Every structure is written in C-alpha cells, then in structure tokens.
Amino acid sequence: MAPVPYVVPLVDSTAVFKPEIFKGKVLFCTGGGSGICRGMTEAVMRHGADAVIIGRKLDRLTQAAKELSDTTGRTCIPAQGDVRDPKTLRDAVTKTIEKFGRIDFVICGAAGNFLAPIAGLSENAFRTVLEIDTIGTYNTIKATIAHVRASKGSYIHVSATLHYNGTPFQAHVSAAKAGVDALSAVLAVEEGPHGVRSNVIAPGPIDGTEGMERLSVKGVADKQFAYPSGRAGHVKDIANATIFLFSDAASYITGQVLPVDGGSEHMRGTMVPYPQSVLDPASVAHMIKPRL
C-alpha cells in the first residue's frame, strides 16, 4: 500500500485565539464584500471588532455587511467606493469615523487579475491592474493613516506569490503586487515610530475564490499545483494569519511578507503549458477563462 501524505487540518481561529481580543476595535477593509477579504473581515469580527467594507457595488456590499453582522453578532456597514478614486475612500473613512469614532485595522484587499501574455495585454489593461492593486493600496493608506496613527493600529496588504518567479501571463499582477510589497515595507519603516505596523499576506492558490476561478486553466489535470501541506488553501487559512498579524502576539512583526500557501510556491510550475503558451498564445486561448 502506497504511503499517504499528511494533510494539514483546517483550523478555525476561534479554536486558537480568545474570542474578544479585538473588542472595541474597528476594521476598514477594501474588497471586503467577497472572497478572501470577506473571510478576513468575518474572522476579525468574530474576535470582537466592528467593520466597514468598501467596494464599488453597493447592493453586494449591503448584503455582505448584513450577513457578516448576522453571523458574527458585531456591526458591519457598507461604504461604496473605488480605490482608484481617493475622494470615495476619504468619504468611506468619514463614514467610518462618524459611525465608530476610530480605525484600528486596515486591510488593503481590492484587486484585479486575469491571464494574458504581454504581447496580448493592452496598455489600458496593464494600467488598470496597477491602478487597482498598487495605486489603490496607496490611496487607502493615504485616506486612513491619520486614524491608524491615532489608534497605534496595523495594516495588512493582500498580495500574491506570483512575482517571486517569472510567471507567464501574469506581468500585470506581478508588477502590481511587487509594488504593494514595497509600499508595505516603506510604510512599516516610516510609520513604525508612530506606533503603526504594516505587513503583507501573500495567499497561494485558495479554493473556491473568484481569483482562483479566473486563473484556473481548462483542460489541465485538476492538480495544477503541488501542496507540501497536503491540500489546497482555504479562506480560513488566510483569516487565521490575519488574526495573528493584527493581534498583540505579532506586536514585534512589521515590514514582513507572509506567504500563506501550504508551501506550494516551492513546487510551483507554470499555470499554462510552457513553452507552448508563449510561443503560440492562440493555441491555449481555449484554456483561459475570458476576462470579466
């Protein structure tokens, strides 16, 4: 009988951390209406914080905020905004302060991605991803920093592991996320003396997310990634890292990038067949999910 690899168990943060470690705290989260950032928001709320989630689609935000409030017993409110538009972020901050009076934690999570080779990537598409991910992170920092200074709070920026190596069809997001990592490091150095921490969480492949759906390649064996930890990532894995980094247990951790990927980055190949995909991109077009 062949040996069976060990599978890391999926643990809920409430089984490890005290339920009210964030009591009285307030979270400001861009991209919090869905996916990974919604899971991060829910986890922080389960440990006592209230939250504001920011996104472009108010109807989806409103529904998500209601569900998060009902699920956690805390208060979550929606604030419509676009991270590319500084005014809308300032308005969201004003709404947060009017409701809660403070901001302790900020998650910079708004992002965009799709598969495209450089030769087939328009200048506008490249610029748009940088505007959402990198400039959007900068705009979020600018809008919130005075309040995070006042609370001696903390930032978490949601990045990726794609730019650690050259990843075909991912020039736009690789450049954008490298910028996010750099911004976080500078923020940690400049704002540390003011009592502010800044770290990055870099998720690996996370099952059940829109991002994973967009990057999945059709016609390739289900196991496109190898997982030394025995399984694909779950939103709870990112949530658990979030609770740790925002907690006092991480008070001496700042300016760091934390990959949460089950070790898959060490085993990663390309998402599309190589070198076929770069020699003849049209031959793999049927394998790629159309842009949304």
Q: In this structure, how many other beta carbons lie within 10 angstroms of the beta carbon of residue 16?
A: 10
**66 in catalytic set:** no
Sequence-ordered alpha helix ranges (H) in 33-135 = 35-46, 58-72, 86-100, 123-130
Q: HSE-up of 199 (CA within 13 Å, CB side)?
A: 23
**177 in catalytic set:** yes
Cα torsion for 186, 190, 191, 193, to the nearest 10°?
140
Token pair listed for 48: 């006592």
The active-site residue out of 13, 174, 177, 198 is: 177
Q: Biggest alpha carbon distance in the chain? A: 63
Q: How far is CA 195 from CA 147, 151, 252, 280, in A?
A: 12, 8, 11, 51
The active-site residue out of 13, 154, 159, 264 is: 159
Amino acid at 287: M
Q: What is the sign, positive or negative, of the torsion defined by CA atoms of 187, 251, 263, 234? A: negative
Q: Which residues are catalytic?
A: 159, 177
